Amino acid sequence: MTSPPARLRRIAHLDMDAFYASVELLRYPQLAGIPVVIGGGRRRGDGFDERLLAQAASCHPERTWTEQDLAHVPVDCFPTLATYSGRGVITTATYPARQFGVGSAMGLMKAAQLCPHAVLLPVDFEAVYRQSRAFKAIITRTAPVMENRGIDEVYIDFTEVPGGQDEGGRVLAARLQAEILAATGLTCSIGIAPNKLLAKMASEFHKPKGIAVLYAHELRDRIWPLSVRKINGIGPKTEAKLLSHNIHTIGQLAQLAEQAPAWLQTTFGPSYGHWLAQAAWGLDDSPVITHSEPVSISRETTFERNLHAVRDKAELGAVFTQLCEQVAADLQAKAYAGRTIGIKLRDDRFKTITRDHTVETPIADARSLRRAAGLALKRAPLQRPLRLLGVRVGKLYKVEVDGAMRPVLTSVHSRIHSHAVASPTEKSTRLKQKLHPAQDHQAQLALLFED
């Protein structure tokens, strides 16, 4: 009796199309087909819809405008990039906006130069999180082996799922697309390939609303002509180094890996050099991980304008408190606590500064986080204006039902930092100590953020 033929490994990468923007278009369908940019602020509590309705009433006073009329507000009542001023960055942009060169992580002021008529909308995180949970629930009902890769993308193992082998996985992909669209009104693009590395590249082939099926024997024709930057794991610095050696395409990298593997490992290090060679040849045996615990939990914000620790004390202090509260809420919602509390700053020269402070006992409440983050902040240079502030919690512990704490990482014997969170009395005592003038000024600035 012969054994059935082995199933081909079929891994899918599902990426929601312009996710943040698409969620907003559910609320404002009249903006479909025109350039729309998401960023520059948060919707929650900012009165955006109220201002929009007031603008509609001003332009069209012949009728009454209520929340039920948001989908009918004329397009010319929406704010555009032309009127924006500030330091915000783009979260995402619709495909019509991308045709003007506008994209994620771009400064809004730069985007305004490229596409001034684009509509500018704030981020609605609550709606985005809700839709993210919805589309992932649809996937796992059919294909339970799913790896969560962020708010808008996942990997899925199609190999053993009914229909996962039909037409290389295209049939199952089309079914998931249809179910997600019917339930959420949102579209996605899917790439199916023998592994995660190739599936992610394939998901970009036919965006938006596309399905791309890739087989191993198609590597030379469909993958090798692509830029090396298309490999997930090659960033701008690696790309620049490769380009400096006239290596532009994945095919050129594969040829180099075959002819001079030692050069790759010498130039990029043994581990990364080996990985580059493997990636160029489309080799990736990493599994689809259905559950993983975070290394850290963080929140950060880019300011509308540069803020100074002294001149903008109240505003910076409020933002600092809010970030700590948001991180605390994230920790408690996921039942984590942490020992290493860090801050991230980016100044007006775009220099990024990070500092950490480790406490003896894992913490998760906002007040304790703020105190510990303030101690980390004390060791950071604060003389220059800031454009970004972030708070991070690492060395996580899982809080079990009985209150016990289990280290997330295996380094249970890691060294415990000798400094605990300082009390107000200790803080006052430290200020009275004699410091170098520059250190004293730094301490005074940092204490602006402490309780």
Which residues carry out catalysis?
A: 153
> Do you know the residue count of the chain?
451
**What is the bridge-based pairing of β-strands 153-157 and 146-148?**
antiparallel
Distance CA 166, CA 432 (A): 74
**Could you say which DSSP state residue 107 is in?**
B
Q: How many CB atoms lie within 10 A of CB 80?
A: 18
Q: Tokens at residue 308, please?
A: 């100074």
Distance CA 238, CA 242 (A): 6
Instruction: Report long-range pairs for 348-354 (Cβ below 8 Å, ≥24 apart).
Output: 348/306, 348/384, 348/385, 348/386, 348/387, 349/384, 350/387, 352/388, 353/380, 353/381
Q: Tell me the three state secondary structure of residue 93.
A: strand
Q: How many CB atoms lie within 10 A of CB 341?
A: 29
Question: Torsions phi, psi of 145, nearest 5?
Answer: -85, 90
